[in-house]
Amino acid sequence: MKDTLKKICNLQPQYSHKNTPEMKERGRLINTVLKSELSNLKPAIAPSLGSYGRDYAVSSSDGQGNKVEAPWVRFCSDKMSPNAQNGYYVVIHFKKDGTGLYLTLGCGSSTLKNGSIVTLSKTLLRSKTNVAKNALLAAHGSIEKFNDIIDLGGRTPLVKSFENATVIAKFISKDEIDGTDFETLLYNLGSYLKTIYEAVQSTGADLTEADQSQIEIENAIRPKRSRKGAQGFGLNSLEKRAVEQRAMKVVNDWLIAEGYQTKDTSSNESFDFLAKREGSTIFVEVKGTTSADPSSILMTANEVNLHKEKKGETALAIVSSIKLTKGENPIASEGQLDMQIGWDIDQWERVPTAFRLERT
């Protein structure tokens, strides 16, 4: 494996987007040799992933069509990250100038749209990487070995998105390759990946509330086709109920502290609380999520109509970053409240997610 890594580094300064002899050889090394060598390390690395190591998978790319400046090889759980656009994984990135490589843990940095690869925004990737890094610090305390700042030296948006999607990284210069214990470092990264699968991806903490809901809708509509694309996320009814109840408690406590009298209307109205104070009444919609990103939510048609019809009299309360402990009796705790009194739904973009079709 070390010889392969050095050969790839030696070819990097001869980068071309065209399929030159040098780039053909680099492609062979990336997609055949190094991929095979990382696959052969399964007995040593897969145990670091715990139960997620059962479907240990390796994939690679040096470009689709045009060659990329920074080729990569990755390993992950196939269920949790069925392709490079979804989920989190451990990835080996190579610097464009060939001076070295990075051992990293990151997330998907792009998506497919109308048949083309579109890079995700820097803001969205920062949210995803911050959630994962915070989970690592909470579980492991220190990640000193992987505190390097990644700089692949490329200019294309795709390469920049690789950098923005990196949670943690360790740089290894070409001269250090022979003296590096890659097996141990990759095992360490695998254990960190397991933490992220458990604390972030399986609870949807890296997805907005709307993304979480959309995945559940797609799984219900087309379970066989969407199973792998669900990125491991999916709360059962008890877990969702625990999250909802925690959000309701956070919002109710806030309203009472602000002097409101509250009535829980969640079971029979298209809003969750009727809150009154000093002769004024507001209709409060509550959204609870394990996500750390409160930038998008999912609403029913009735909820949307209420906020349009009673504009100025409604409030949107999003409780994000709810901590969920799974088990027979799931427990939800904490949560960050974003309360918007007099919420104007027309200032938010409405995106159709699903349509109900009826035979005429």
pTM above 0.85, yes or no: no
Q: How far apart are alpha carbons 274 and 284 in whole angstroms?
A: 6
Structure tokens at 227: 């199973």
**CB of 186 closer than 8 Å to CB of 1:** no
In DSSP notation, 60-93 reads EES-SSSPPSS-EEEEEETTT-SSTTSSEEEEEE
**What confidence score (pLDDT) does residue 192 get?**
97
Question: Counting Cβ atoms within 10 Å, is residue 343 exposed (0-12), middle (13-18) or buried (19+)?
Answer: buried
The predicted pLDDT at position 229 comes to 39
pLDDT confidence of residue 231: 46
User: pLDDT tens digits, residue range 87-119?
Assistant: 899 999 999 999 999 999 999 887 766 656 677
Whether residue 121 is predicted with pLDDT greater than 60 in this model: the reply is yes
| CATH number 1.20.58 given to 2-201 | no
Residue-level pLDDT at 222 = 59
In the chain, where the domains are located:
2-201, 237-347
Least confident of 5-14, 101-110, 122-131, 143-152: 122-131
Contact 288, 335 (CB under 8 A): yes
- In this structure, which long-range contacts are made by residues 333-338, counting pairs with CB atoms below 8 Å and at least 24 apart in sequence? 333/246, 335/246, 335/247, 335/250, 335/288, 336/294, 337/250, 337/251, 337/254, 338/294
- Domain 237-347 belongs to what architecture? 3-Layer(aba) Sandwich (3.40)
- The distance from CA 88 to its chain's CA centroid, rounded to whole angstroms, is 7
Q: How confident is the model over 243-252, as pLDDT tens digits? A: 999 999 999 9
